[in-house]
């Protein structure tokens, strides 16, 4: 029996081949220099007759095997009305590198009995697997759905890969259709609106750029300015512009409040009690409360409530892609693209599980304790190895005193991959670049924190009655830090010692004062916040969020500005003009808001469930965009007018 296995990347093909062959591999070159062919024998495939030994050739692609576009002869830029692209025929082609990879697959598939797909286990991986299948059939007409299999795996640990080889499944054709739908819609809507916006605005933007640089020598840019549109790019831009507008339109307001300060003679410490009403914007009202309390109660208050209760600092949920990107941005100031790239390299090297996942729940059957053991056994001592060992200490005794706890279950499960977790520990000859090192340590610490006990503390709350006005103070004593000992980015500290007061006890007020303050504007958008907003509103997937942020930076719709230790995202004149221009046309809900894209993502899920078809979704959304296009084309002068207005007003007005 001959089997052709095809992975999504050469590094995965190499690792899987080494595991299945036991290291006995013959390596040869392919027409594409970054793809190798690995030949070996393997006897574990369940589909092989009699489970006998198979001659296996394993190779790979390098991402998508085809490119989807319009025929340039008929639909190239300037050769048709962009509106025609909503109904134009779409072609699938290969660039020279893709052609070389395709030729390699055709050649290797000629005499095989089975084709096994080893692409990443997500929607995109299913689509790439289908592309591989279509290419292999060109070299072997005997290949069909009956001799096509698909390996299900999420990391490169040996037992996991062997299990994937022994228990293959079939390609998910519905997922293939969902990705094909997204590719077609993004192409039709993106290209048509990009051409419309560029034809309308590019000249004005170029002239503005030249005028800004008229006092210095500027190298002439031969590339045409492109004002691109993307159904994920624009809502992403909309979030940044919305924050900018809220800051620019903010007007501070003065407010007033009352606070009491009480001294505990036994401890020579003071405690501040805050007003239960918070603060009010009417100074006269607060002054009235203050003067009445002073007149009728003086400096005496009464304890009206004393509570002491245990509190819990919950350990984090298991790690998803979005949480990884968000926290790497927050803790390490790494942008989403950098953190995801580092995570993918770690996955390809076999150190962590597949880093593109929406799942925040570990299956009960998963052996998490063996993963913890690998962080202190057979690896170099690390900053967390002792903690990992202590988690499992006493696990096998009659009265185990270990602190291992099965992780909390979140509310998301994509049914494809488990949460991100470490697979192996750091060996003696491991070399990481700085970003890989940070991401690996974060993944390990997050995983260990998930498997730890929650933090435990005691919260004391005291309320004072000052002439029927209530004032509160809280104090925290941390009793057990637990997971916080391995998670240095989260703070949970003891607060000031509370005074020793009892119910109905009279208390002398050291100071009662009326204080004022001012409301503060929101801060500019950080990348961590933007990732959270995109995830919450269904803009992009866990794997593409970083791409959309980078795209609007590259198009000069936003800038990334460092202030002190923080990096903020701010819109440019062009970015603001695009969002406000579509608002002027009346399309803000469809372009700068997330509703349209969220609706499409919901439709893609319905395709995966079989309740909608690709053609139904494409027809529905294309018809909507035809209407958006017509309205934009009829009102395109508004885009230019808004651009001039924003340029005149400036960014800081």
Which positions are catalytic?
Answer: 354
Angstrom distance (rounded) from CA 542 to CA 321: 6
Q: Give Cβ neighbours of residue 449 (< 8 Å, ≥ 6 apart).
A: 315, 316, 483, 486, 487
Q: Give Cβ neighbours of residue 536 (< 8 Å, ≥ 6 apart).
A: none
Angstrom distance (rounded) from CA 244 to CA 558: 11
Q: Give Cβ neighbours of residue 391 (< 8 Å, ≥ 6 apart).
A: 372, 402, 403, 404, 448, 451, 452
Neighbours of 89 (CB within 10 A): 8
Residue 385: closest CA among 374, 401, 370, 394: 374
Helix, strand or coil, per DSSP, at residue 212: helix
Tokens of 559: 């800038």
Please provide residue 472's backbone torsions phi and psi, each rounded to the nearest 5 degrees: -125, 150
Tokens of 186: 């993004």
Do 95 and 124 meet the contact criterion of CB atoms below 8 Å apart?
no
Pairing verdict, β 558-563 and 269-275: unpaired
Do 3 and 340 meet the contact criterion of CB atoms below 8 Å apart?
no
CA angle (558 as vertex; 554, 563 as ends), nearest 5: 115
Tokens of 332: 């390490």
Helix, strand or coil, per DSSP, at residue 429: coil
Residue 485 buriedness (CB in 10 A; 0-12 / 13-18 / 19+): middle
Angstrom distance (rounded) from CA 386 to CA 370: 15
Residue in the block written with tokens 């060109």: 138
């Amino acid at each position: 029996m001959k089997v052709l296995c095809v992975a999504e990347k050469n590094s995965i093909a190499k690792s899987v081949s080494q595991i299945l062959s036991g290291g006995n591999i013959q390596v040869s070159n392919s027409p594409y220099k970054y793809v190798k062919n690995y030949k070996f024998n393997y006897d574990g495939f369940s589909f092989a007759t009699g489970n006998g030994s198979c001659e296996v050739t394993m190779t790979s692609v390098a991402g998508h095997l085809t490119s989807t576009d319009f025929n340039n002869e008929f639909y190239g830029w300037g050769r048709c009305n962009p509106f025609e692209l909503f109904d134009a025929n779409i072609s699938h082609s290969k660039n020279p590198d893709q052609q070389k990879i395709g030729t390699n697959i055709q050649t290797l598939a000629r005499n095989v009995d089975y084709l096994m797909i080893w692409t990443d286990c997500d929607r995109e991986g299913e689509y790439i697997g289908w592309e591989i299948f279509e290419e292999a059939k060109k070299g072997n007409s005997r290949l069909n759905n009956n001799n096509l299999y698909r390996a299900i795996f999420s990391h490169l640990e040996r037992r996991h890969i062997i299990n994937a080889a022994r228990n293959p499944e079939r390609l998910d054709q519905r997922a293939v259709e969902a990705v094909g739908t997204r590719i077609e819609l993004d192409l039709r809507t993106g290209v048509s609106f990009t051409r419309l916006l560029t034809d309308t605005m590019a000249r004005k933007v170029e002239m503005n750029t030249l005028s800004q640089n008229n006092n210095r020598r500027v190298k002439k840019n031969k590339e045409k300015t492109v004002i691109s549109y993307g159904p994920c790019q624009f809502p992403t831009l909309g979030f940044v512009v919305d924050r900018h507008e809220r800051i620019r339109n903010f007007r501070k307001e003065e407010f007033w409040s009352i606070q009491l300060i009480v001294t505990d003679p036994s401890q020579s410490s003071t405690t501040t009690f805050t007003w239960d009403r918070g603060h009010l914007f009417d100074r006269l009202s607060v002054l009235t409360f203050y003067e009445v309390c002073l007149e009728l109660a003086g400096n005496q208050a009464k304890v009206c409530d004393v509570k002491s209760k245990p509190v819990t600092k919950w350990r984090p949920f298991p790690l998803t892609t979005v949480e990884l990107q968000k926290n790497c941005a927050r803790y390490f100031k790494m942008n989403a693209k950098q953190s995801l790239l580092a995570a993918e390299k770690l996955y390809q090297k076999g150190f962590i599980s597949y880093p593109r996942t929406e799942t925040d729940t570990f299956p009960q059957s998963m052996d998490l304790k063996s993963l913890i053991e690998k962080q202190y056994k057979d690896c170099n001592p690390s900053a967390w190895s002792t903690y990992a060992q202590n988690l499992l200490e006493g696990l096998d005794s009659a009265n185990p005193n270990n602190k291992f706890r099965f992780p909390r279950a979140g509310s998301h499960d994509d049914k494809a991959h488990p949460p991100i977790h470490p697979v192996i520990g750091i060996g003696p000859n491991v070399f990481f670049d700085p970003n890989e090192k940070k991401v690996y340590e974060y993944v390990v610490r997050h995983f260990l924190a998930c498997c730890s006990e929650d933090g435990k503390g005691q919260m004391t709350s005291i309320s004072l009655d000052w002439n029927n006005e209530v004032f509160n103070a809280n104090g925290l004593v941390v009793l057990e830090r637990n997971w916080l000992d391995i998670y240095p980015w989260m703070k949970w500290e003891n607060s000031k010692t509370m005074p020793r007061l009892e119910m109905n006890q009279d208390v002398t007020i050291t100071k009662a004062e009326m204080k004022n303050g001012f409301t503060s504007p929101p801060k500019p958008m950080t990348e961590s916040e933007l990732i959270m907003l995109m995830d919450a509103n269904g803009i992009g997937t866990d794997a593409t969020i970083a791409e959309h942020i980078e795209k609007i930076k590259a198009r000069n719709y936003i800038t990334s500005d460092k202030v002190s230790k923080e990096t903020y995202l701010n819109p440019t004149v062009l970015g603001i003009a695009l969002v406000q221009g579509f608002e002027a046309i009346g399309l803000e809900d469809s372009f700068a808001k997330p509703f349209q894209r969220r609706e499409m993502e919901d439709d893609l899920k319905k395709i995966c469930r079989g309740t909608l078809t690709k053609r139904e979704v494409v027809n529905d959304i294309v018809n909507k965009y035809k209407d958006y296009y017509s309205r934009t084309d009829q009102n395109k002068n508004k885009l230019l007018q808004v651009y001039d207005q924003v340029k005149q007003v400036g960014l800081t007005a």
